[in-house]
Structure formats: C-alpha cells, structure tokens
C-alpha cells in the first residue's frame, strides 16, 4: 500500500461547484507505477493535506503526467 502524499487542486472553471469546493487529486509519489495510488475528489481539500504550495515542476514526474492527464480530461482538451 502506498501513501497519497501529494495533492493537486484544480481551481479553474467548475460550473456546478459550491463556494470553497474544488476537484483535487491525491497521489502517491509514483501514482501510475506498481503499488502506486491516486484518487480524484470533489469537495473541500482537507487543510492538513495542503502543507505548502509547490510549483508544477516540483511534483515527481509520475505525478506531473497524471495531473496533465486529469486536467485534459476534465476540460476536454
């Protein structure tokens, strides 16, 4: 089992969202690898998951790939 230690919050247009509600993705360090994990959530990200802001380049390569894939699917790109 792998811990989901990274969180990416999608803050763009989300037509049906309530104030403070976002789509956010939690991921392990290698979310697409063997034993990796990831989950797409809708709601208010738990504050304890958001320790500090990290630039996109600060995520591990597997997380960046997953974030881009989710972003493209969410906004039909």
pLDDT in tens, 57-67: 999 999 999 99
pLDDT tens sequence across 40-54: 998 888 777 787 888
pLDDT digits (tens, 9 = 90+) for 11-36: 876 666 677 788 899 999 999 889 89
pLDDT confidence band for 3 (50 / 70 / 90) = confident
For the chain, give the DSSP string: -----EEEEE-S--TTPPTT-EEEEEE-SSTTSTT--EEEEEEPPPGGG-SS---GGGS-HHHHHHHHHHHHHHTT-
Residue 1 has pLDDT above 60, yes or no: no
Q: What is the pTM of this model?
A: 0.82
Span 65-70, average pLDDT: 95
């Amino acid at each position: 089992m792998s811990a989901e230690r990274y969180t990416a919050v999608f803050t763009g247009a989300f037509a049906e969202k309530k104030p403070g509600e976002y789509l956010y993705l939690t991921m392990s360090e290698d979310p697409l690898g063997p034993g990796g994990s990831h989950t797409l959530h809708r709601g208010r990200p738990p504050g304890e998951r958001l320790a500090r802001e990290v630039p996109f380049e600060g995520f591990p390569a597997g997380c960046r790939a997953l974030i881009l894939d989710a972003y493209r699917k969410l906004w039909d790109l």
